Each structure stands twice: as C-alpha cells, then as structure tokens.
C-alpha cells in the first residue's frame, strides 16, 4: 500500500480515482505532486494539494523535467486511455521509480501493466463492486479502505469461528487478516490472544484489501 513517509508521492491523473487518492494522502499529511494534462483540472486543484502541475505523462521528457525519477512511489490513476496508462507506467519504469501503483480498466490492461513493471495494479470499479456485494449479502456491515491496499471491515462472526481463542484460530496465518476488536455491550473492545468469538458478534477485521475481501467470502 501507499504508506505515509517523509518522501513525497507522485500522483498522475486527477480523475475520480486520482483525486480521491490525492485528497486522502493530503489529509493524512503526506506531501505529493499531482500531474494532470487538463489545464482546467490543474487550476481547480492548484491550491488543494502540495503541488499540482500540468504535463503530459506519456512524454518522458516532460516527466524528467518534473523530476519524476526522484520519487520513490508513484500512482498512475489514468483510466480513460489504456495507451496513455501503459506509456506513463513504462516512462516511470525507465526513469527508475521503485514502486509504481497503477489503475487498470480491465484484467488485460492490468496484465500489461504488471508485465511492463507496475508494482501493484488496482481495479477500483471491480473492487468496489465486489465489496458492495458483500455489504448487500450481509457478510460485511461496513468497509473502509483507509489506505490503498489496506482495509478495515465490520464482519459478523460465523459459527465456525466461535468458541475458540483467537490464538488457536490463527486467522493471520490462514487468511492474512487480524481481528482488532469485537463488539460487546454495544461497544467495540480490544481483543487478546485468549479472546473467544461469539457467533453473530460484530468484529473489526484488518488486513490487505484483497485478503479481507476473500475472508468475507469464505466465512
């Protein structure tokens, strides 16, 4: 996931995804540079983020001028053009950016991004649809992705997990998630290795987004 650090993050593309990401990073105190080709969008957000510049990210010379190669982490939020998305990621790879997150429109698009060097591919629309399905089905009562790739979910404890200490359930080893709190007397309380879940009890589960999703499906 994109972690808060002393190093600024490069965000390319201020569509809905890129803008939401930039706003979340800014609210968390993370410095960033946002790059957008549309002048009107640049003007709209010029005072909101640390730095907003107009540039064509498919032009490697333009990215070099901005110092893109000095960023450790970049997020490519371009979603309207697969060609522009691929060219931008390829440019960042050539400039030596270590960690590149990229939004994909389709699975095939995601495969191409991975093959050319994207560290992590994000499918916002599909992921949102899957999580909404969990909410509608009642598996999850609430879901918050508080950092890209990492989530908290309020999940109802199934009978299969009830009556055993958390240490014995080994949820992190088996599913990659951690129970961080359970609801008792209408309030959430911390858990301990000896805590036992009760069937139907609300529990807050944390972990990588895809593993939280998978855990919700399996229980």
Give the distance from CA 179 to its chain's centroid.
20
CATH number at residue 141: 3.30.70.1450
Residue where a domain terminates, one of 122, 154, 188: 122
Residues 169 and 100 in one domain: no
pLDDT in tens, 47-82: 899 899 999 999 999 999 999 999 999 999 997 799
In the chain, count H helices and then E strands.
9, 11
CATH number at residue 114: 3.40.50.720
Tokens 């301990």 found at: 192
Domain of residue 97 covers 9-122
pLDDT in tens, 20-55: 889 888 887 889 999 999 999 999 999 899 899 999
Residues 57 and 130 in one domain: no
Number of independent structural domains in the chain? 2
Residues 78 and 133 in one domain: no
Rounded Cα–Cα distance for residues 54 and 33 (Å): 11
pLDDT in tens, 83-111: 999 999 999 999 999 999 999 988 899 99
Q: What is the pLDDT of residue 55?
A: 97
pTM passes above 0.85: no
Q: DSSP for 135-150, please give it.
A: HHHTSEEEEEEEETTE
Q: Is residue 1 part of a domain?
A: no
Q: Burial letters for 188-215: b for 16+ Cβ neighbours within 10 Å, e otherwise?
A: eeebeeebbbeeebbbbbbbebebbbbb
Q: Is residue 4 part of a domain?
A: no
Cα–Cα nearest to 75, from 62, 88, 64, 66: 88
pLDDT in tens, 113-167: 999 999 988 887 666 655 555 555 555 556 676 555 777 888 888 899 999 999 9
Residues 93 and 35 in one domain: yes
Q: Residue 111 CB: number of other CB atoms within 10 A?
A: 12
Q: Is residue 189 part of a domain?
A: yes
Residues 142 and 188 in one domain: yes
Q: Is residue 21 part of a domain?
A: yes
Q: Is residue 182 part of a domain?
A: yes
């Amino acid at each position: 996931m994109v972690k808060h650090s002393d190093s600024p993050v490069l965000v390319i593309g201020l569509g809905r995804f890129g803008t939401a990401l930039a706003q979340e990073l800014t609210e968390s105190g993370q410095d960033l540079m946002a790059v957008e080709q549309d002048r009107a969008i640049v003007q709209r957000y010029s005072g909101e983020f640390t730095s907003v510049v107009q540039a064509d990210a498919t032009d490697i010379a333009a990215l070099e001028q901005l110092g893109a190669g000095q960023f450790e982490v970049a997020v490519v939020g371009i979603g309207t053009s697969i060609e522009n998305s691929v060219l931008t990621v390829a440019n960042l790879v050539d400039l030596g950016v270590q960690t590149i997150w990229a939004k994909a429109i389709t699975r095939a698009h995601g495969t191409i991004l991975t093959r050319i060097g994207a560290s992590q591919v994000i499918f916002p629309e599909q992921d949102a649809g899957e999580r909404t399905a969990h909410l509608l089905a009642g598996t999850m009562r609430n879901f918050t992705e508080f950092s890209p790739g990492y989530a908290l979910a309020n999940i109802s404890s199934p009978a299969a997990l009830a009556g055993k200490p958390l240490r014995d359930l080994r949820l992190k080893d088996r599913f990659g998630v951690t129970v961080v709190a359970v609801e008792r007397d209408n309030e959430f309380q911390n858990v301990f290795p000896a805590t036992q879940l009760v069937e139907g009890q609300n529990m807050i589960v944390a972990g990588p987004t895809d593993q939280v999703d998978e855990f919700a499906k399996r229980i």
